Amino acid sequence: MDEPPVQLIQATRCPVPAQPGKPERVDDEYERKGAAVLFRFTAPLAGWRRVSVREHRTAVDWAEEIRSLPEEDFPDAEKIILICDNLHTHTIGAVYKAFPPVQARALAMR
């Protein structure tokens, strides 16, 4: 899994169309429209991937994304091995923060 931040931008000027002998011209000026976080999950050997977009990258957001792995994406899997970086939000405590103890324990054990 990975969760890179992305910047949302909008062009401030329309591109000038290509003409014979001249390429299309695009101005690099833009207006910032906010930011988002992409939660990307992959299982390369299975040929599977999922990307979801969220406004924030909090522990609860991470836990909600993790919940969907065993409940929606891989319901028949006995065990899921998750590889992620060591951000402070990537802990079992995040699951307990987001869900009732019984559900959190079930997710953590899987």
Query: In the sheet where 30-43 sits, what is the strand order?
Result: 5-11, 30-43, 48-54
Nearest to 109 by CA among 32, 3, 101: 101
Instruction: Specify the pLDDT at position 20.
Output: 94
Predicted TM-score (pTM) of the model is: 0.73
Instruction: Specify the pLDDT at position 94.
Output: 86
Beta bridge partners of 5: 37
Domain count for the chain: 1
For the segment 8-64, what is each residue's pLDDT rounded down to a tens digit?
999 898 899 999 999 999 988 899 999 999 999 999 988 999 999 999 888 899 999
Structure tokens, 51: 């990307």
64 lies in which domain range? 5-109
Instruction: Specify the pLDDT at position 81.
Output: 86
